[in-house]
Amino acid sequence: MPSILLTTLNARYAHASLGLRYLRANLGELREHSAIVEFVIGQKTEEMVEKLLAQRPQIVGIGVYIWNVEESTRLVAQLKRIAPEVIVVLGGPEVSYECDQQRICDLADYVITGWGDLSFAELVGQLRAGGKPATKVIAGKQPPLDTLTLPYGEYTDIDVGKRFLYVEASRGCPFKCEFCLSALDKTAWPFPLESFMAELEQLYQRGARQFKFVDRTFNLKVDTSLAILDFFLDKLEFAPDDPVFVHFELIPDHLPEKLKQTVTRFPPGTLQFEIGIQSFDEAVQSRISRRQKNAVAQANIRWLRAHTQAHLHVDLIAGLPGEGIDSFARGFDQLVALGPQEIQFGILKRLRGAPIDRHTEAFGLRFNPDPPYNVLATDEIDFPTFQRLGRFARYWDMIANSGRYLRTLPLLLGDSPFARFLAFSDWLYAETGKTHALALERMVHLVHRHLTDQRGLDPTAVAEALINDYQASGGRARLAFESGDAPRPLPRAQRAAGATPSRQSRHLRGA
């Protein structure tokens, strides 16, 4: 049985931890004595402890993140209560700062802050040799990237066949946006391109078709970006009936002509760009040390929508220091006008260690003391309004981002998207008291009521849009506002499982 277990709680089963695989790949001679055991948030703590202890480990390394820290704390508490002899080592961004303020760090035996790729192996070697580190909290050493063993061989055949595979061509970020932990990086460091491309080839030959790049700045070095894009284009041209899906994080105001020409060659359903706008308010951008040429960023998003088949997922953050609801609404409306398929509407969080904390007093930022550390009120936006914004974000994801209401959404938004959707959000919550567990048929009827009764829109036009959206999404029931003699659509043919995620597929087919 392995004496070293590496574990974490992923947000979903489809997510496979890249960090654990780096740790195992770089254990050297100890790798054969190790194993990866992954869980998903929401699993019962006792069952996780049982599965870990069944393998009789000497050392358990746990990756701790903002989404799993509370459940990880319970996991560590039970592990140490039942098997105090097992050495628990923590790592990950959530425990890399403010260790002295966290119960999980008190419970564990050791904490590695920052880079753990090689520092974990050093600690394990020391412990197995009978040594004892001088301190409980160990600052991880940042090695040159060309000295690391790449982790992609640690993905199992099940990972390759059923999960998103996380990959990275670089680490770090040269930008200093204060809400992000990457603001603490000095620069971005590239992995050696030749060895990285060889690993991509091996993953592809094993059957991998969904790749999520975690690089903060994928298009920072355009020659590297082009080499990676050309790799996937070659695969698509050689096997057009065997598509891939690739996700990149894109700097919005850096899109050189060579990159544009390459991006236009990708077919629908293969390319997704996550683009961080966060705010269009120049004073707010300056305050949080965010460098962004707004006009260029907007022109690039507009160009990507007009000339490429890429799926655009664009981020905005509410609650940044000094930004009020009117400023945020203007930015939201600007972004809607650019037409990205998805707008991720997030609420500011105070990540441990992130420089955004320096604005707390000056701008009255009152953060949730518990994960996910979301801002609850600022001097510009009060707590009740943040509650409304949180519901707006949830309903926006269900309606706009889902791709299920492409014909109806323009009716909901009208000529004032933020104000119209906020009014809908307030009404919907007043009617249902829910932000989850709203079935498709019920939501369709609620949207119909709002548009006809509250907004006074033409019932025929509303019904036509909603019926088409509902049926395109797979709905087969007869809706209450539908004509009694309307023909039932034929069952949709089953689509073969492909690389493109279902949400993007709905946007593609106009569902």
User: In 10 A of CB 158, how many CB atoms?
Assistant: 9
Q: With a cut of 70, say whether residue 488 has pLDDT above it.
A: no
Task: Name the residue ranges covered by the structural domains of the chain.
Answer: 4-144, 155-381, 404-511
Q: With a cut of 60, say whether residue 497 has pLDDT above it.
A: no
> Per residue in 115-148, pLDDT tens?
999 999 999 999 999 999 999 999 999 999 999 9
- Among 313-322, 421-430, 449-458, 488-497, the minimum mean pLDDT is found in 488-497
* pLDDT reported for residue 498: 65
What's the DSSP call for residue 398?
I
Of 494 and 34, the structure prediction assigns the larger pLDDT to: 34
* pLDDT reported for residue 500: 80
User: In 10 A of CB 30, how many CB atoms?
Assistant: 18
Q: With a cut of 80, say whether residue 484 has pLDDT above it.
A: no
Tokens standing for residue 67: 């989404």
The stretch 181-206 carries a mean pLDDT of 95
Q: Is 155-381 a CATH 3.40.50.720 domain?
A: no
Q: With a cut of 80, say whether residue 496 has pLDDT above it.
A: no
Tokens standing for residue 313: 């997922």
Give 28-43 as a DSSP string. Answer: GGGGGGEEEEEEETTS
Mean residue pLDDT across the chain: 95
* pLDDT reported for residue 501: 80
Burial of 55 (0-12, 13-18, 19+ CB in 10 A): middle
- Among 173-177, 260-264, 293-297, 428-432, the minimum mean pLDDT is found in 173-177
Q: With a cut of 90, say whether residue 487 has pLDDT above it.
A: no
Pairwise CA distance, residues 234 & 211, whole Å: 15
* pLDDT reported for residue 510: 60
Its pTM stands at 0.94
Q: With a cut of 70, say whether residue 511 has pLDDT above it.
A: no
The stretch 229-235 carries a mean pLDDT of 97
Q: Is 4-144 a CATH 3.40.50.300 domain?
A: no
* pLDDT reported for residue 506: 80
